[in-house]
Amino acid sequence: MFPSTITDFWLTPSPTSRLLHEDGAFSVTVDAALDESERLTILTATGGRTRVLLTPAVAEAVGLENGQPVDETGFRQRLEKSGISLHGADNLFYFTVGAQEKLLGEPDTCSIRPLTEADAGVFGRFEKEASAQDRDDASVELDHWAVYGAFENGRLVCVASMYPWDDGPPADLGVLTLPPFRGRGHARRLVRAISRRALARGYQPQYRCQLDNHASVALAGSAGLTRFGTWDVVDPDSAV
């Protein structure tokens, strides 16, 4: 069972929203208060239920402003016809309530510690050893809300960072291990350590990754996270 703060965050309608369509597996909700970057989002829960959230302008563009019945296949066809494209879905992982209890009972290892501005030199050397693609994919930054590092023989070999996400309870997590040090458990231990920090401060650790990033999916599972579903958002270059 996932924490109620996560299920409420994703599934409870906001006061500014209005339901356009709902059946057992698919719903469409319009909300004029959505940020422009999230004017269309699609959440598909692990159980198979899909929830679309969009602005009135997007609803009009796809012909749903009057709440016409539509299934998911029909909706996606309308998106394609209107020229609206999606960015590409991410997996969403969280700790279940039981997994959190186990996580909070674990101590940090001596090879893991928080990173601060005083570690700028160490972090800079770490970044130089990582590829541009790895840095872009992981999005770990020393100025994030929480930053932890894993060391091997005094060398920083893995970094995880977090920041509060979307004005809600999730704290979004990124992690990067230098290639020569992968497969040694650094990322798994680091994800769990920084997640304890988030939980202690009242946030829910959130782990996102692309659907085809099999190594990242495997890391989420080994760290004790459970897949909540997938989340997709409108491509920033879409005209509507």
* The pLDDT of residue 68 is above 80: no
For 215, the 3-state DSSP assignment is helix
| pTM > 0.85: yes or no | yes
The torsion region of residue 158 among left (phi > 0), alpha (psi -120 to 50) and beta comes to beta
Half-sphere exposure of 175 (CA within 13 A, CB side): 30
- Using the predicted structure, report yes or no on whether residue 67 has a pLDDT greater than 70: no
pLDDT given for residue 169 in this prediction: 96
**What is each CA distance from 152 to 110, 124, 158, 220, in whole angstroms?**
10, 17, 9, 22
For the chain, give the mean pLDDT: 93
Element (H, E) at 205: strand 204-210
Cβ proximity of 157 and 178 under 8 Å? yes
Q: Specify the domain boundaries for CATH 3.40.630.30 within the chain.
A: 96-224
CATH value of 96-224 in 3.40.630.30, 3.90.960.10, 3.30.70.150, 3.30.70.890: 3.40.630.30
Contact 47, 24 (CB under 8 A): no
Dihedral pair phi/psi, residue 224, rounded to 5°: 95, 10
Query: Please, is 26 exposed, middle or buried when counting C-beta atoms within 10 Å of its C-beta (0-12, 13-18, 19+)?
Result: buried
Q: Would you say residue 42 has pLDDT above 70?
A: yes
Residue 123 to residue 116: CA distance in whole angstroms? 9
Tens digit of each residue's pLDDT (9 = 90 or more) over 134-160: 999 999 999 999 999 999 999 999 999
Q: How sure is the predictor about 21, in pLDDT bands with cuts at 50, 70 and 90? A: confident
- Identify the pLDDT of residue 144: 96
Greatest mean pLDDT range, 165-169, 188-192, 232-236? 188-192
